[in-house]
Chains A and B, each alone.
Chain A
């Protein structure tokens, strides 16, 4: 078996570990760091697959993974600095990210076969929702939006590909998205069993 293909599977497993861990973390700064590292391994996985099977097939996925990595790590930097200037820069960055996602999503939708366009439209909406969900305060928005996003990505990685006339399953892609959904489920099971603490914490007098 091709060495790069084996390397891709190992990188995929590392990605799963980081993605699973990231959705167990309540603190936004640490979440962005861990998911950012996960995205980096995810991008490296596509590079490794590209080296095994030919870069042209993986190029769009490498670009998408790079987009996620940069976004997560920039958000990590912004949230850890936590100054008015960094927040302003972060929001400008968020708007640029949204514009990029809309442009890339629109190109994908236009180029997709007519019968699966609905899936790509949903994908674009879910991707945008996830980017906004990552930015919104609190622990819930990011988890709800990642589950929706992962569910739609799963549809494109499973036999729904039949619609394209492609009967292969992307096993590692499925496992990565499933890891996110399972991690969110585990988080809420843990969350439900924890003693209730208010979301806001005021100091005692």
Chain B
């Protein structure tokens, strides 16, 4: 028996986590540098982003779960005789992985017979969420901890996440782009297409106009996935732009001839404070059954 745990980078809601029988170590949000609110617990994502929209000068800080947070989450399960499979946001974006490793090291002394496996998703948001969903499916299919971790690590290499932003304002607030880039990009209506590459955010391209961006993204997804439609799991996320996300989901389903089973996800603060309201994210990964070794 083992317990699946993820940090809040996966953007699962509390209700979803309960339903799927996993635990979440939430990220912290601080508006003033002093008070730290647990995302999804002390503050709803929607409220967080609405505050970001209403206060133009605001750039809240996010912080990873501390080692003590992980210790508090792991301990009851270890006491109950369960091992732990813990998934974290990309270690290149956050210290969550290090916190989990530190916690596991500390707990190893008290629970030498228990196994704690920490997996660095090298991903974020719905990309991390897809890996987590596959881990949960493997757990429910009866895979033991070792095998689950083994396949999860293979799934990382098949997971892609892309996102497009409605405004460059939040990248500017976060210091990721300069004021001139934000100003000129805004005038020219540039929509950056960002991706996660080797665990880090990079810019794939710049496209003029939101509508054009969504059209080109749809074409690129069809091109990348047309031969794999039965082998992949796909997820769509958004920040305060549910209508666009629904329209994008319908367009993708029609283009690929599939039904996207995963719920549309509200992207959390870890990536959302840089992407800002209006952002759309889409991710895909292979289903674990399609990994050759799964059948051996």
Contacts and interface: CB of A to CB of B under 8 A. Distances in A.
Interface majority SS on B: helix, strand, loop or mixed? mixed
B207 A204 contact: no
B220 A84 contact: no
A195 to B, nearest CB: 11
Interface in B227-270: 228, 231-232
Given A204-B228, A205-B285, A84 B177 contact: yes
Contacts of A87: 177-178, 181
B235 to A, nearest CB: 12
Contacts of A199: 205, 207, 216, 219-220
Interface stretch (B23-31, B84-92, B155-163, B273-281): B155-163
B271 interface: no
A202 B177 contact: no
Interface in A83-105: 84-85, 87-88, 91-92, 94-95
A199 B184 CA distance: 22
Residue in B184, B193, B286 with the greatest tally of chain A CB atoms within 10 Å: B184
A137 B205 contact: yes
Interface string A106-139: 0000000000000000000000000010001110
B104 interface: no
B231 A205 contact: yes
Nearest to A200: B220
B43 interface: no
B180 A95 contact: yes
B46 to A, nearest CB: 29
A190 interface: no
Contacts of A95: 180, 184
Contact of B180 (A88, A136, A198, A200): A88
Chain A interface size range: 20 to 34
Interface majority SS on A: helix, strand, loop or mixed? loop
A85 B176 CA distance: 9
Contacts, number: 74
A88 B177 contact: yes
Contacts of A137: 190, 205-208
Contacts of A94: 184
Interface in A156-205: 197-205
A199 B225 CA distance: 15
Interface string B172-186: 000011101100100
B224 interface: yes
Interface in B125-162: 158-160, 162
Contacts of B207: 137-138, 199-200
Contacts of B222: 198
B117 to A, nearest CB: 24
B204 interface: yes
Nearest to A198: B219
Nearest to A204: B224
A91 B223 CA distance: 32
17 contacts: A87-B178, A91-B181, A132-B188, A137-B208, A138-B207, A197-B223, A199-B205, A199-B216, A200-B193, A200-B205, A200-B207, A200-B219, A200-B220, A202-B160, A202-B224, A203-B224, A205-B158
Given A200-B219, A200-B220, A205-B285, 7 more contacts: A84-B177, A88-B178, A94-B184, A198-B216, A198-B220, A200-B193, A202-B160
Interface of B: 158-160, 162, 176-178, 180-181, 184, 188, 190, 193, 204-208, 216-217, 219-225, 228, 231-232, 284-286
